[in-house]
C-alpha cells in the first residue's frame, strides 16, 4: 500500500520525535511563547469536548453537580493542610501584583482545588441534611513543571476535578471506587485504552490522601501512563479546615471527603496507544470527524451532489461526517485524513455512483464497498469495527507488555528490554521502591492491583517475606 502521508519520524526510530511530529502535523496543538502553555487547536479541543460530554453525562447520571471555584488560592489557605502544601507549593505559580499594586498576600493559581472546596464546604455543610455534596468542575490548572510535553506534562492543563463530602467514611471510600469504575468505563469503552487498576503505594499517593486509586494504561513504547486517579481523604481535610456537621443523633462530626480527576493527558494517551507511522488514529467514540467523505473525480457531473447527499445522510443518522470538497487532489486528502486519524474514509466517484455503491476504508486497514442505499448502517458498523479493533490491539499490546519478575535482576532485565508492566511480590517497604528506581533508571511502582493473588512469597527486591502484589513500570 502506497505511503500517502507526509514524512513523520517512525515510531520505532524515535518514539518521542514521532509523538511531537504527530501532535504538530495532525493540527492538534501550537506552541505559545510561554513554555509549557500550548494552544489547543480546534481538532484537539473537539476531541476534548467529546471526552467531556461522555464523562459529564456519566457524572450527572450518578448525581454529581458542576460548580466553578475561584482560579486563585490565597497562600494562607493553601497552607492549611500540611501534606497538601508540601506536595504542591514547590510547583505553583504565584501572583504578587494586581495592576500596579503589590498585594498584601500572595495568591497561587490553583494546582488543584481541594483547599477551595474545603473553604466552601465550611460555609455550606452544617447538618446531615447537607450531605453528601457531589461536586465536579471543568477547568484548567497550573503546575510549574520543569520539563514539559504537550498533553503529557504541561504547565497548564485542562481537566475535571470531582470533589465530594460524605457523612461516613464508608460512603466516601465507595465514592472513590465508584468513580474509578466510571473512569475505567470511559477509558476502555470510549478511548479503547485498557487499564490496570489498583491502589497507589504510600510513596506514590496524592498529597493529603489516605488512599489513591489509579488506572494505568500501557503506551505503544512500553511506558505506563497514569490516566486517572481517585482519592479517599478520610476526615483529614475536614479537620484541617474545621468542617463539622450535626449528625442525626445531634452530635458534631467531621465529614469524609474524596477527589478525583482526569485531564487532557488522556489525549496524549490516545495518541501513544493507537497512533502509527502514518499519524494519529482516533477511536470513533471521540473522533471529531468519524467519516470523511472524499469525492473522486469531483469535476465530473453529479459527483459532488451525490457526495453531499451521502454526507447529509450520515449526519442525519448521528454520525460525525464531513465532506472535503476542496480542490486538493484525492491523494492529498487521503494523506491528510490518515494523518488526522479519521476512523473511516468514504470514497465516492462516477463509477461508484453508477454501481450505486461507495467505498468505506478503515484507518486501521482494509476497505469494502457498501450500497449507497444502506450507507448509514454500513458506516455505523464499520465505525463499531474500528472501535473494537483498536481496543483489541491495545489489549494485545498490554498483554505483550506484561511480565512477572521474581528478583531485582530480572526486573532490570525486563525493564531495559521490553519495558511494560512488571508484576512482582513486594514487602511493602519504600526502600525497595527506591532500589528499583535506581537500578532501572526510573521504574516506579504503578499500583497494588485489585487482584492480589500472590505469585510468590518473597519480595522480588529484598527477598523478605511479602504478601503484596505490586505492578511496576516506566512512566510518562
For residue 50, which of 178, 154, 158, 190 has the smallest C-alpha distance?
Answer: 190
DSSP 34: S
Q: Closer to a second copy by CB, 68 or 450: give it.
A: 68
What Å distances lie between residue 190 and 54, 184, 354, 384, 434, CA to CA? 8, 10, 37, 11, 36
Q: Are residues 113 and 163 in contact, defined by beta-carbon separation less than 8 angstroms?
A: yes
The number of angstroms, rounded, from the C-alpha of 275 to the middle of its chain's C-alpha atoms is 15
Q: Closer to a second copy by CB, 214 or 259: give it.
A: 259
Sign of CA dihedral 52, 319, 336, 274: positive
Q: Closer to a second copy by CB, 45 or 245: give it.
A: 45
CB 319, min distance to a second copy, A: 16
Alpha-carbon gap, residue 358 to 401, rounded angstroms? 39
For residue 257, which of 230, 241, 234 has the smallest C-alpha distance?
Answer: 234
Sign of CA dihedral 282, 287, 63, 234: positive
Q: Closer to a second copy by CB, 38 or 408: give it.
A: 38
CB 96, min distance to a second copy, A: 5
**Site residues (vs a second copy, CB under 8 A):** 30, 32-34, 37-42, 45-46, 48-49, 65-74, 77, 89-100, 107, 109, 116, 119-120, 123-124, 135, 139-140, 142, 144, 155-156, 158
Give the residues across from 197 on adjacent strands: 215
CB 464, min distance to a second copy, A: 38
Q: Could you tell me the three cell numbers for 343?
A: 476512523
Dihedral pair phi/psi, residue 285, rounded to 5°: -60, -25
Q: Tell me the HSE value of 404 on the side-chain side, using a 13 A CA sphere.
A: 8
Neighbouring CB atoms inside 10 A of 182's CB total 20
Q: Closer to a second copy by CB, 37 or 406: give it.
A: 37
DSSP 475: B
CB 318, min distance to a second copy, A: 15
CB 1, min distance to a second copy, A: 29
Q: Closer to a second copy by CB, 49 or 188: give it.
A: 49
Q: Tell me the HSE value of 467 on the side-chain side, using a 13 A CA sphere.
A: 0
CB 369, min distance to a second copy, A: 33
Q: Closer to a second copy by CB, 91 or 188: give it.
A: 91
For 104-160, give the DSSP string. Answer: EEEEEEPSS-HHHHHHHHHHH--BGGG--EEEEEEEEEE---SS-BTTTB-SEEEEE
Alpha-carbon gap, residue 113 to 135, rounded angstroms? 12
Q: Closer to a second copy by CB, 136 or 226: give it.
A: 136
Alpha-carbon gap, residue 266 to 264, rounded angstroms? 5
CB 76, min distance to a second copy, A: 8
For residue 330, which of 305, 364, 303, 301 has the smallest C-alpha distance?
Answer: 303
Q: Give the CA diameter of the chain.
A: 81
Q: Could you tell me the three cell numbers for 26?
A: 495532525
CB 472, min distance to a second copy, A: 29
Q: Closer to a second copy by CB, 141 or 217: give it.
A: 141
CB 393, min distance to a second copy, A: 30
Alpha-carbon gap, residue 266 to 48, rounded angstroms? 9
Grid look-up 474545603 returns 118
Q: Closer to a second copy by CB, 41 or 395: give it.
A: 41
CB 74, min distance to a second copy, A: 6
CB 354, min distance to a second copy, A: 33
Q: Closer to a second copy by CB, 138 or 254: give it.
A: 138
Amino acid at each position: 500500500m502506497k505511503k500517502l502521508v507526509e514524512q513523520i519520524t517512525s515510531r520505532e526510530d524515535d518514539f518521542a520525535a514521532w509523538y511531537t511530529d504527530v501532535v504538530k502535523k495532525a493540527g492538534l496543538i501550537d506552541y505559545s511563547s510561554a513554555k509549557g502553555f500550548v494552544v489547543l487547536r480546534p481538532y484537539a479541543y473537539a476531541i476534548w469536548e467529546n471526552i467531556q460530554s461522555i464523562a459529564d453525562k456519566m457524572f450527572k447520571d450518578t448525581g454529581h453537580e458542576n460548580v466553578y471555584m475561584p482560579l486563585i488560592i490565597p497562600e494562607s489557605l493553601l497552607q492549611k493542610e500540611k501534606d497538601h502544601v508540601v506536595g504542591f507549593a514547590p510547583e505553583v505559580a504565584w501572583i504578587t501584583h494586581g495592576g500596579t499594586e503589590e498585594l498584601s498576600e500572595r495568591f497561587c493559581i490553583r494546582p488543584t482545588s481541594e483547599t477551595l472546596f474545603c473553604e466552601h464546604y465550611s460555609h455550606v455543610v452544617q447538618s446531615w441534611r447537607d450531605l453528601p455534596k457531589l461536586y465536579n468542575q471543568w477547568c484548567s490548572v497550573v503546575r510549574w513543571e520543569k520539563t514539559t510535553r504537550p498533553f503529557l506534562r504541561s504547565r497548564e492543563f485542562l481537566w475535571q476535578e470531582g470533589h465530594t463530602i460524605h457523612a461516613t467514611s464508608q460512603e466516601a471510600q465507595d465514592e472513590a471506587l465508584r468513580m474509578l469504575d466510571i473512569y475505567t468505563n470511559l477509558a476502555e469503552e470510549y478511548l479503547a485504552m485498557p487499564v490496570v487498576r489498583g491502589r497507589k503505594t504510600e510513596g506514590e499517593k496524592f498529597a493529603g490522601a489516605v488512599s489513591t486509586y489509579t488506572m494505568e494504561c500501557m503506551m505503544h513504547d512500553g511506558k505506563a501512563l497514569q490516566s486517572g486517579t481517585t482519592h479517599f481523604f478520610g476526615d483529614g481535610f475536614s479537620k484541617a479546615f474545621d468542617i463539622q456537621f450535626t449528625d442525626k443523633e445531634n452530635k458534631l462530626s467531621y465529614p469524609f471527603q474524596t477527589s478525583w480527576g482526569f485531564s487532557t493527558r488522556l489525549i496524549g494517551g490516545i495518541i501513544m496507544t493507537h497512533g502509527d507511522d502514518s499519524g494519529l488514529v482516533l477511536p470513533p467514540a471521540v473522533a471529531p470527524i468519524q467519516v470523511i467523505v472524499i469525492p473522486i473525480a469531483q469535476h465530473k457531473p453529479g459527483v459532488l451532489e451525490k457526495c453531499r447527499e451521502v454526507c447529509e445522510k450520515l449526519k442525519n443518522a448521528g454520525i460525525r461526517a464531513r465532506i472535503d470538497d476542496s480542490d486538493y487532489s484525492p491523494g492529498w486528502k487521503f494523506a491528510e485524513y490518515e494523518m488526522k486519524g479519521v476512523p473511516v474514509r468514504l470514497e465516492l466517484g462516477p463509477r461508484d455512483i453508477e454501481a450505486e455503491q461507495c467505498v468505506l476504508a478503515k484507518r486501521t486497514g482494509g476497505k469494502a464497498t457498501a450500497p449507497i442505499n444502506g450507507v448509514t448502517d454500513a458506516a455505523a458498523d464499520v465505525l463499531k469495527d474500528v472501535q473494537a479493533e483498536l481496543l483489541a490491539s491495545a489489549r494485545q499490546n498490554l498483554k505483550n507488555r506484561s511480565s512477572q519478575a521474581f528478583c531485582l535482576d530480572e526486573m532490570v532485565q525486563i525493564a531495559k528490554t521490553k519495558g511494560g508492566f512488571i508484576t512482582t511480590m513486594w514487602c511493602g517497604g519504600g526502600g525497595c521502591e527506591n532500589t528499583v528506581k535506581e537500578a532501572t533508571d526510573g521504574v516506579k511502582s504503578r499500583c497494588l492491583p485489585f487482584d492480589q493473588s500472590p505469585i510468590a512469597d518473597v519480595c522480588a527486591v529484598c527477598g523478605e517475606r511479602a504478601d503484596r502484589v505490586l505492578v511496576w513500570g516506566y512512566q510518562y
